[in-house]
Amino acid sequence: MGVSELLEFLKSNWSTIVTGSFIAGIVVAVGLAILFSVGIAVISLVVASFAVFLTLLVSILDATTLERKRQQTKLAVEREILRNALFNEMADIIRVFHQIVFSDSFLSRLRGMEPTRPSQLSFFKEIRKKVDRFMSFSVYDSANRDPVLFFGLEGEARNISRFYKMIWNGISELDSAINRAEQHPLQLEQARSIIQDFEEKFLKTALLYLDERSLDYLGQFFDPDDAVYFARLRGSEAATTTEIGEETL
Protein backbone atom coordinates (compact mmCIF):
# COMPACT_ATOMS: atom_id res chain seq x y z
CA MET A 1 0.00 0.00 0.00
CA GLY A 2 1.45 3.37 -1.05
CA VAL A 3 1.44 6.58 0.97
CA SER A 4 -1.57 8.03 -0.87
CA GLU A 5 -3.55 4.81 -0.41
CA LEU A 6 -2.64 4.76 3.29
CA LEU A 7 -3.75 8.34 3.79
CA GLU A 8 -6.99 7.63 1.95
CA PHE A 9 -7.60 4.62 4.20
CA LEU A 10 -6.92 6.67 7.32
CA LYS A 11 -9.19 9.43 6.07
CA SER A 12 -12.02 7.01 5.34
CA ASN A 13 -11.72 5.29 8.71
CA TRP A 14 -10.48 8.06 10.94
CA SER A 15 -13.33 7.92 13.47
CA THR A 16 -12.86 4.18 13.98
CA ILE A 17 -9.09 4.57 14.32
CA VAL A 18 -9.37 7.42 16.84
CA THR A 19 -11.91 5.52 18.93
CA GLY A 20 -9.85 2.35 18.79
CA SER A 21 -6.66 4.16 19.69
CA PHE A 22 -8.34 5.84 22.65
CA ILE A 23 -9.66 2.51 23.94
CA ALA A 24 -6.30 0.86 23.32
CA GLY A 25 -4.57 3.56 25.36
CA ILE A 26 -6.87 2.95 28.29
CA VAL A 27 -6.44 -0.83 28.05
CA VAL A 28 -2.65 -0.54 27.90
CA ALA A 29 -2.57 1.83 30.87
CA VAL A 30 -4.80 -0.41 32.96
CA GLY A 31 -2.83 -3.50 31.88
CA LEU A 32 0.45 -1.94 32.93
CA ALA A 33 -1.02 -0.95 36.24
CA ILE A 34 -2.31 -4.47 36.95
CA LEU A 35 0.55 -6.57 35.60
CA PHE A 36 3.56 -4.53 36.56
CA SER A 37 2.23 -2.32 39.27
CA VAL A 38 3.62 0.69 37.47
CA GLY A 39 3.22 4.11 38.90
CA ILE A 40 1.03 6.97 37.89
CA ALA A 41 3.93 8.61 36.04
CA VAL A 42 4.34 5.69 33.64
CA ILE A 43 0.62 5.42 33.05
CA SER A 44 0.48 9.18 32.40
CA LEU A 45 3.32 8.83 29.89
CA VAL A 46 1.48 6.07 28.03
CA VAL A 47 -1.73 8.09 27.90
CA ALA A 48 0.19 11.19 26.80
CA SER A 49 1.89 9.19 24.01
CA PHE A 50 -1.45 8.02 22.72
CA ALA A 51 -2.74 11.58 22.90
CA VAL A 52 0.20 12.80 20.81
CA PHE A 53 -0.37 9.99 18.31
CA LEU A 54 -4.04 10.88 17.97
CA THR A 55 -3.22 14.59 17.58
CA LEU A 56 -0.73 13.86 14.80
CA LEU A 57 -3.16 11.51 13.09
CA VAL A 58 -5.97 14.06 13.09
CA SER A 59 -3.56 16.75 11.80
CA ILE A 60 -2.45 14.52 8.92
CA LEU A 61 -6.03 13.71 8.00
CA ASP A 62 -7.02 17.38 8.12
CA ALA A 63 -4.03 18.37 5.98
CA THR A 64 -4.82 15.64 3.46
CA THR A 65 -8.45 16.73 3.21
CA LEU A 66 -7.51 20.39 2.80
CA GLU A 67 -4.92 19.58 0.13
CA ARG A 68 -7.38 17.45 -1.80
CA LYS A 69 -9.96 20.23 -1.70
CA ARG A 70 -7.32 22.75 -2.78
CA GLN A 71 -6.31 20.58 -5.75
CA GLN A 72 -9.94 20.06 -6.74
CA THR A 73 -10.63 23.79 -6.57
CA LYS A 74 -7.50 24.55 -8.59
CA LEU A 75 -8.47 22.00 -11.23
CA ALA A 76 -12.01 23.37 -11.46
CA VAL A 77 -10.68 26.91 -11.94
CA GLU A 78 -8.19 25.77 -14.60
CA ARG A 79 -10.92 23.90 -16.49
CA GLU A 80 -13.17 26.95 -16.46
CA ILE A 81 -10.32 29.09 -17.80
CA LEU A 82 -9.65 26.50 -20.52
CA ARG A 83 -13.34 26.34 -21.41
CA ASN A 84 -13.51 30.12 -21.79
CA ALA A 85 -10.37 30.13 -23.95
CA LEU A 86 -11.72 27.36 -26.20
CA PHE A 87 -15.07 29.04 -26.76
CA ASN A 88 -13.36 32.35 -27.43
CA GLU A 89 -11.15 30.66 -30.03
CA MET A 90 -14.17 28.95 -31.61
CA ALA A 91 -15.92 32.31 -31.86
CA ASP A 92 -12.79 33.76 -33.49
CA ILE A 93 -12.83 30.97 -36.09
CA ILE A 94 -16.41 31.79 -37.05
CA ARG A 95 -15.57 35.51 -36.97
CA VAL A 96 -12.73 35.03 -39.47
CA PHE A 97 -15.02 33.26 -41.93
CA HIS A 98 -17.67 35.93 -41.49
CA GLN A 99 -15.38 38.94 -41.79
CA ILE A 100 -13.06 37.59 -44.50
CA VAL A 101 -14.34 34.62 -46.51
CA PHE A 102 -18.03 35.46 -46.46
CA SER A 103 -17.87 39.24 -46.24
CA ASP A 104 -19.95 41.14 -48.76
CA SER A 105 -16.87 42.41 -50.59
CA PHE A 106 -15.40 38.94 -51.04
CA LEU A 107 -18.67 37.42 -52.15
CA SER A 108 -19.17 40.27 -54.62
CA ARG A 109 -15.72 39.63 -56.04
CA LEU A 110 -16.51 35.93 -56.35
CA ARG A 111 -19.77 36.54 -58.19
CA GLY A 112 -18.31 39.16 -60.53
CA MET A 113 -15.02 37.43 -61.21
CA GLU A 114 -14.04 36.73 -64.78
CA PRO A 115 -13.90 33.00 -65.41
CA THR A 116 -10.16 32.97 -66.07
CA ARG A 117 -7.85 30.55 -64.38
CA PRO A 118 -5.23 33.04 -63.11
CA SER A 119 -7.72 35.42 -61.52
CA GLN A 120 -9.76 32.70 -59.81
CA LEU A 121 -6.70 30.82 -58.60
CA SER A 122 -5.25 34.04 -57.19
CA PHE A 123 -8.55 34.75 -55.45
CA PHE A 124 -8.70 31.33 -53.81
CA LYS A 125 -5.08 31.57 -52.66
CA GLU A 126 -5.82 34.99 -51.20
CA ILE A 127 -8.62 33.51 -49.13
CA ARG A 128 -6.37 30.75 -47.83
CA LYS A 129 -3.62 33.18 -46.89
CA LYS A 130 -6.07 35.30 -44.94
CA VAL A 131 -7.46 32.24 -43.14
CA ASP A 132 -3.93 31.14 -42.20
CA ARG A 133 -3.06 34.65 -41.06
CA PHE A 134 -6.08 35.38 -38.90
CA MET A 135 -7.29 31.95 -37.77
CA SER A 136 -5.73 30.13 -34.83
CA PHE A 137 -6.20 26.69 -33.28
CA SER A 138 -3.55 27.20 -30.60
CA VAL A 139 -5.84 26.82 -27.58
CA TYR A 140 -7.24 23.52 -28.83
CA ASP A 141 -3.76 22.26 -29.75
CA SER A 142 -2.56 23.12 -26.25
CA ALA A 143 -5.61 21.45 -24.66
CA ASN A 144 -4.85 18.21 -26.49
CA ARG A 145 -1.45 18.15 -24.80
CA ASP A 146 -3.19 18.15 -21.41
CA PRO A 147 -5.95 15.54 -21.83
CA VAL A 148 -6.65 15.28 -18.09
CA LEU A 149 -7.61 18.94 -17.99
CA PHE A 150 -9.39 18.99 -21.36
CA PHE A 151 -11.41 15.81 -21.02
CA GLY A 152 -12.41 16.88 -17.54
CA LEU A 153 -14.96 18.92 -19.48
CA GLU A 154 -16.52 15.49 -20.20
CA GLY A 155 -19.14 15.39 -22.98
CA GLU A 156 -18.52 19.00 -23.90
CA ALA A 157 -14.87 18.18 -24.66
CA ARG A 158 -15.95 15.56 -27.19
CA ASN A 159 -18.31 18.01 -28.89
CA ILE A 160 -15.69 20.76 -28.97
CA SER A 161 -13.22 18.33 -30.54
CA ARG A 162 -15.75 17.45 -33.23
CA PHE A 163 -16.34 21.14 -33.94
CA TYR A 164 -12.64 21.73 -34.57
CA LYS A 165 -12.25 18.61 -36.68
CA MET A 166 -15.13 19.63 -38.93
CA ILE A 167 -13.55 23.05 -39.51
CA TRP A 168 -10.21 21.39 -40.24
CA ASN A 169 -11.90 19.07 -42.73
CA GLY A 170 -13.34 22.03 -44.61
CA ILE A 171 -10.01 23.86 -44.77
CA SER A 172 -8.25 20.66 -45.85
CA GLU A 173 -10.75 20.11 -48.66
CA LEU A 174 -10.26 23.68 -49.83
CA ASP A 175 -6.47 23.25 -49.73
CA SER A 176 -6.67 20.07 -51.77
CA ALA A 177 -8.94 21.67 -54.36
CA ILE A 178 -6.64 24.70 -54.73
CA ASN A 179 -3.58 22.46 -55.09
CA ARG A 180 -5.31 20.41 -57.77
CA ALA A 181 -6.47 23.57 -59.54
CA GLU A 182 -2.86 24.72 -59.89
CA GLN A 183 -2.22 21.64 -62.03
CA HIS A 184 -5.62 21.12 -63.64
CA PRO A 185 -7.70 24.18 -64.61
CA LEU A 186 -10.93 22.18 -64.53
CA GLN A 187 -10.52 21.78 -60.76
CA LEU A 188 -11.14 25.50 -60.26
CA GLU A 189 -14.87 24.89 -60.30
CA GLN A 190 -14.51 22.44 -57.41
CA ALA A 191 -12.64 25.01 -55.32
CA ARG A 192 -15.33 27.57 -56.11
CA SER A 193 -18.01 25.08 -55.11
CA ILE A 194 -16.29 24.34 -51.79
CA ILE A 195 -16.19 28.04 -50.93
CA GLN A 196 -19.83 28.53 -51.90
CA ASP A 197 -20.93 25.50 -49.89
CA PHE A 198 -18.58 25.98 -46.94
CA GLU A 199 -21.16 27.55 -44.65
CA GLU A 200 -23.71 24.79 -45.15
CA LYS A 201 -21.33 21.86 -45.30
CA PHE A 202 -18.82 22.78 -42.60
CA LEU A 203 -19.70 25.79 -40.43
CA LYS A 204 -23.31 24.90 -39.75
CA THR A 205 -22.49 21.24 -39.39
CA ALA A 206 -19.71 22.03 -36.90
CA LEU A 207 -22.23 23.94 -34.78
CA LEU A 208 -24.58 20.95 -34.83
CA TYR A 209 -22.12 19.09 -32.63
CA LEU A 210 -22.68 21.59 -29.80
CA ASP A 211 -25.70 21.28 -27.56
CA GLU A 212 -27.96 24.21 -26.72
CA ARG A 213 -26.07 25.02 -23.52
CA SER A 214 -22.76 25.22 -25.36
CA LEU A 215 -24.26 27.24 -28.21
CA ASP A 216 -25.71 29.75 -25.76
CA TYR A 217 -22.32 30.04 -24.08
CA LEU A 218 -20.53 30.44 -27.41
CA GLY A 219 -22.88 33.27 -28.34
CA GLN A 220 -21.48 35.38 -25.50
CA PHE A 221 -18.12 35.68 -27.25
CA PHE A 222 -19.36 37.51 -30.37
CA ASP A 223 -19.50 41.20 -31.12
CA PRO A 224 -22.96 42.43 -32.26
CA ASP A 225 -22.25 42.14 -35.99
CA ASP A 226 -20.78 38.68 -35.69
CA ALA A 227 -23.55 37.65 -33.27
CA VAL A 228 -26.12 38.19 -36.03
CA TYR A 229 -24.10 35.97 -38.38
CA PHE A 230 -23.72 33.32 -35.66
CA ALA A 231 -27.45 33.39 -34.96
CA ARG A 232 -28.13 32.81 -38.64
CA LEU A 233 -25.73 29.87 -38.77
CA ARG A 234 -27.19 28.41 -35.61
CA GLY A 235 -30.80 28.81 -36.68
CA SER A 236 -30.46 27.67 -40.28
CA GLU A 237 -31.23 24.19 -41.43
CA ALA A 238 -28.18 22.06 -42.11
CA ALA A 239 -27.24 18.45 -42.55
CA THR A 240 -27.83 16.32 -39.50
CA THR A 241 -24.90 14.71 -37.77
CA THR A 242 -26.05 11.33 -39.02
CA GLU A 243 -25.26 12.49 -42.54
CA ILE A 244 -21.73 13.50 -41.69
CA GLY A 245 -20.19 10.05 -41.52
CA GLU A 246 -17.42 8.76 -39.36
CA GLU A 247 -14.83 9.61 -41.97
CA THR A 248 -15.10 13.28 -41.01
CA LEU A 249 -14.20 12.48 -37.43
pLDDT, tens only, 73-129: 777 889 999 999 999 999 999 999 998 888 877 777 777 766 666 777 888 888 888
Q: What is the mean pLDDT of residues 55-67?
A: 65
Read off the amino acid at residue 14: W
**pLDDT for res 236:** 46
What's the whole-model pTM score? 0.68
**pLDDT for res 195:** 84
Q: Ranked by mean pLDDT, which of 11-25, 60-74, 94-108 comes out on top?
A: 94-108
Instruction: Give yes or no for residue 55 having a pLDDT over 50.
Output: yes
**pLDDT for res 214:** 95
Instruction: Give yes or no for residue 141 having a pLDDT over 90.
Output: yes
CA separation for the pair 187, 41 (Å, rounded): 99
With a pLDDT cut of 70, the percent of the chain lying above it is 63
CA separation for the pair 40, 141 (Å, rounded): 70
> How far, CA to CA in Å, does 67 sit from each of 3, 8, 10, 61?
14, 12, 15, 10
Q: What is the mean pLDDT of the chain?
A: 77
pLDDT, tens only, 179-206: 888 887 767 888 888 888 899 999 999 9
